[in-house]
Amino acid sequence: MTDDILIHTHGRVGHISLNRPKAIHALTLDMCHAMSAALAKWADDDAIEAVILDHAEGRGFCAGGDINLLRKSALEDGGVKGRQFFHDEYQLNHQMMTYPKPIVAFMDGITMGGGVGIALPAKFRVATENTRFAMPETGIGLFPDVGGGWHLSRLGGRLGQFLALTGARLDGAECLWAGLATHYLPSEMLADAKARIIEKPGRISGVLAEMPGSPPKARIEENADRIAKHFASDRLEDILASLEADVENNGSEWAAKERDTLGTKSPQTLKVALRQLAESAKLDSFEDNMRMEYRIGSRVLLRPDFAEGVRAVIVDKTHDPRWTPATPEEVSEELLDSIFAPLPADEEWKPL
């Protein structure tokens, strides 16, 4: 067990609280293992009807995974520890996605990367005015993993492709509008909501629906048509050309902003993310998706862009990554094929 996660039961409800506030509750391998063990125990316990997932204190639900561990592994041990982290974190994602009892995730505050991976499998996902949802991985040479391919590819209007490529942040109202959250509550009501769920774990849906409070208008709705139009293609070059044409022909400030945002991201992982979502949309099971994402993660971890992206954005904070390849045109189909190729049979990802 680890002090970075608090595990309790309250009557017929299991309760997991992330407790690493200085890192905005970013997941370590020990935290993933502790969560998995608790969920496995409660799955077989007839006395537990439901699970609450939240954070103990601080300004975010979960800021992601242990990026520094991944970079250290990429630079020092050929990715061995990094692959283990991906493998076991993905097992937790799959365990939650197939869990036999309802999980209620309270996405109060920053919910990014690995935090998305443990929030979106929950049957009930509660956003608040503090929610800041994003999958910002392409900015550090990674890709929207932890089941991102599955979840994002199943949003309408090419919104998933937009979020995967740009790393755009959504607030709580936007998460509800997009279907990423199932409910919206003002943060001041969360303690009451949890108390009511503990009191009546058999009727979580009713408890959440009865709580007062309606979200403000989702700002992203105003850009939905633009997103659907410009991010319609699975080819990065087409998306960039569409945005560029809107800038040149119409002087669109929105298109200029998104074009410039994409210009800061790793061309390799932008193309990886587009293919990932296209492939995931065709898959029948979350298990197959996680197997694909583990293949991608195992390769991308050791590609130059990951260590370089983390250096520029997180370590040195210079925000001047030198991507390899440097342009979308240089990211070949052969390179993408090698990133998505099956692993040797004994190295493929397996669920718990």
Active site residues: 65, 114, 137, 145
Could you tell me which of 307, 235, 308 has the C-alpha nearest to residue 278? 235
Both tokens assigned to 129:
């005015």
CB 143 within 8 A of CB 272: yes
**Beta-carbon contacts of residue 122 (< 8 Å; ≥ 6 apart):** 53, 96, 102, 103, 104, 105
Could you tell me which of 88, 78, 98, 227 has the C-alpha nearest to residue 150? 98
Residue with tokens 């410039």, as numbered in its chain: 260
CA 273 to CA 296: how far, in whole Å? Answer: 10
Q: Please give the order of strands across the beta sheet that includes 60-62.
A: 60-62, 110-112, 132-134
With the C-alpha atoms ordered 78, 80, 85, 88, is the resulting torsion angle positive or negative? positive
Radius of gyration of the chain (CA): 20
β-pairing, 5-10 vs 13-18, is antiparallel
Give the three-class secondary structure for 265. Answer: coil
Q: Please give the order of strands across the beta sheet that includes 50-55.
A: 5-10, 13-18, 50-55, 103-107, 124-127, 183-184
CA 25 to CA 64: how far, in whole Å? Answer: 8
